[in-house]
């Protein structure tokens, strides 16, 4: 019999597809030394008892307690790490003003490595405590402190995909916060990619460099073309903002004579490892382009309330075969929790479907077939995020990384309202998704290692 690195016994929820959640009751999850789920074993398997006994004897076995459940770790597809320092403030102004009055001044402070360490340490610990095991980060324009963020992810055990942000256009960015010039922006990006790849050699859960033009308005054509080439040369992930707001969308049309999605394609920035944040204003052709290139949408439902003045039609794009995952967009979104964002994704979709659309007659109701439920939101936060990044994460299934959260619904002081012994498991799942708080997340694991435990 194989001896595994660790074996866990418990009931798990994992997404098969946007609408199908598997309930794996009392399964064994056998994790190998690389942190991959080598086998899941149902209680009626012949060797279930033998595996359990063998690993218990060797101290490699952990059984979940009563009231505890396993969920995959969450995948946050869009976090501005430096903006953690301003989370929860300044959300009452439009995007352009917010960037110039609040966000660029804050991000410019990350030239200071001491300040960066303080903010990044706290953010990564907070995300882990909220069940986020993988995060796709925008850092700042500074290559040293961007590398520091990757190092902090590495040290704390989070799977971090990190981008040094590029903003090289002197006409669009303030002098105190932009790349010195285009060639420096590209050289710094390449040096950053090489440094993160070197760091990654010793990181079990993986850290990845990401080519990161902030958005088209902040970059020159030359930088955007150069970044597309760097991503191809080093086979990296790519991230940016796409079709987020009327202002940004109009700006791109005016400057380039084409829509955001087509412009990004022409710069070589769409593809299987590309994740574009927001994308609220995609049209049918843009969505088809995303589906054809394997480009994913990072859906940021809380942030969209404040900055995009629109609701992403998630159900429609999922139906069209576009990959979609969930992003917190700290700090355009005030919450670091993907639980909060999953809840808002459902609420926003319901308001899109059932709200009055002012473009229609006064008594018409919103856009049909828009709604998603909490199962789809869970899919976005887990398997959808994994597919967006083209990594084997986001499911508790064979071949996937052991990235997991143990959620305790019976915890003293943070009990969920579950009464009696006959509440069906799919209702427990819904209650966890709607009502769990960070207090309920007892343990978090990434790639077979425990990275968070509640005292």
Task: In whole angstroms, give the CA distance from residue 247 to residue 279.
Answer: 13
Site membership for Fe ion, residue 329 (CB under 5 A): yes
Task: In whole angstroms, give the CA distance from residue 142 to residue 164.
Answer: 7
Helix (H) / strand (E) element for 431: namely: helix 425-435
Residues in the chain: 455
- Give the residue at shortest CB distance from Fe ion: 329
Helix (H) / strand (E) element for 304: namely: helix 301-307
Task: In whole angstroms, give the CA distance from residue 327 to residue 279.
Answer: 12
**Closest separation in Å from C-beta 332 to ligand GUN:** 3
Asked if residue 106 lies in contact with residue 82, where contact means CB atoms within 8 angstroms, the answer is yes
- Smaller CB separation from Fe ion, 72 or 333: 333
DSSP symbols for 113-143? HHHHHHHHHHHHHHHHHTTEEEEEEE--S-H
**Closest separation in Å from C-beta 303 to ligand GUN:** 5
Indicate which of ligand GUN, Fe ion, none lies near residue 214 (CB less than 5 to 8 Å, by partner kind).
ligand GUN
Site membership for Fe ion, residue 76 (CB under 5 A): no
φ/ψ of residue 398, rounded to 5: -60, 135
- Smaller CB separation from ligand GUN, 68 or 331: 331
- Smaller CB separation from ligand GUN, 164 or 214: 214
Applying CB under 6 A, the residues found at the interface with ligand GUN are 80, 95, 99, 103, 214-215, 241, 244, 303, 307, 329, 332
> What tokens does 177 get?
């916060």
- Smaller CB separation from ligand GUN, 55 or 214: 214
**Closest separation in Å from C-beta 116 to ligand GUN:** 16
Site membership for Fe ion, residue 107 (CB under 5 A): no
- Give the residue at shortest CB distance from ligand GUN: 332
**Closest separation in Å from C-beta 291 to ligand GUN:** 23
- Smaller CB separation from ligand GUN, 80 or 273: 80
Asked if residue 83 lies in contact with residue 106, where contact means CB atoms within 8 angstroms, the answer is yes
Site membership for Fe ion, residue 190 (CB under 5 A): no
Task: Pick the piece of the chain touching Fe ion (CB under 5 A) from 30-38, 41-49, 264-272, 273-281.
Answer: 273-281
Where does 136-283 have alpha helices with state H? 143-156, 182-200, 221-234, 246-256, 260-266
Query: DSSP 3-state assignment of 294?
Result: coil
**Closest separation in Å from C-beta 435 to ligand GUN:** 28
**Binding residues for Fe ion (CB under 5 A):** 277, 329
């Amino acid at each position: 019999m194989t001896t595994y690195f660790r074996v866990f016994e418990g009931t798990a929820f994992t997404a098969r597809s946007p609408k199908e959640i598997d309930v794996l009751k009392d399964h064994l999850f056998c994790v190998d030394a690389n942190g991959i789920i080598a086998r899941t074993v149902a209680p009626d398997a012949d060797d279930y008892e033998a595996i359990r006994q063998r690993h218990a004897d060797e101290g490699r076995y952990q059984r979940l307690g009563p009231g505890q459940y396993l969920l995959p770790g969450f995948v946050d597809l869009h976090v501005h790490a430096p903006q953690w320092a301003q989370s929860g403030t300044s959300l009452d102004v439009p995007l352009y003003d917010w960037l110039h009055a609040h966000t660029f001044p804050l991000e410019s402070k990350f030239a200071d490595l001491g300040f960066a360490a303080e903010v990044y340490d706290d953010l990564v610990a907070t995300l882990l405590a909220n069940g986020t095991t993988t995060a796709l980060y925008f850092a700042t324009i500074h290559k040293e402190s961007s590398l520091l963020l990757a190092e902090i992810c590495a040290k704390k055990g989070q799977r971090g995909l990190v981008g040094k942000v590029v903003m090289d256009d002197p006409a669009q960015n303030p002098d105190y916060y932009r790349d010195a010039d285009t060639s420096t922006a590209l050289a710094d990006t390449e040096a950053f990619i090489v440094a993160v790849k070197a760091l990654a050699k010793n990181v079990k859960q993986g850290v990845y460099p990401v080519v990161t033009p902030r958005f088209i308005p902040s970059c020159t054509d030359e930088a955007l073309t150069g970044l597309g080439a760097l991503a191809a040369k080093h086979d990296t992930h790519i991230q940016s903002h796409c079709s987020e707001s009327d202002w940004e969308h109009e700006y791109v049309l005016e400057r380039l004579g084409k829509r955001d999605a087509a412009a990004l394609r022409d710069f070589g920035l769409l593809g299987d490892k590309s994740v574009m944040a927001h994308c609220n204003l995609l049209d049918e052709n843009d969505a088809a382009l995303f589906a054809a290139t394997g480009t994913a949408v990072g859906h940021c439902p809380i942030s969209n309330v404040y900055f995009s003045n629109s609701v992403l039609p998630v159900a429609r794009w999922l139906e069209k075969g576009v990959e979609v995952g969930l992003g917190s967009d700290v700090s355009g979104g005030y919450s670091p929790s993907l639980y909060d964002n999953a809840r808002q994704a459902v609420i926003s979709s319901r308001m899109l479907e059932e709200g009055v659309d002012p473009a229609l007659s006064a008594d018409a109701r919103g856009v049909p077939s828009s709604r998603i439920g909490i199962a789809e939101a869970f899919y976005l936060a887990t398997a959808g995020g994994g597919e967006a990044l083209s990594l084997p994460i986001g499911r508790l299934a064979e071949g996937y990384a052991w990235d997991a959260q143990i959620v305790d619904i019976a915890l003293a002081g943070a009990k969920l309202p579950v009464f009696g012994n006959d509440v069906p498991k799919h209702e427990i799942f819904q209650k966890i998704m709607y009502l769990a708080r960070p207090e309920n997340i007892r343990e978090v694991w990434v790639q077979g290692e425990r990275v968070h435990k509640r005292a």
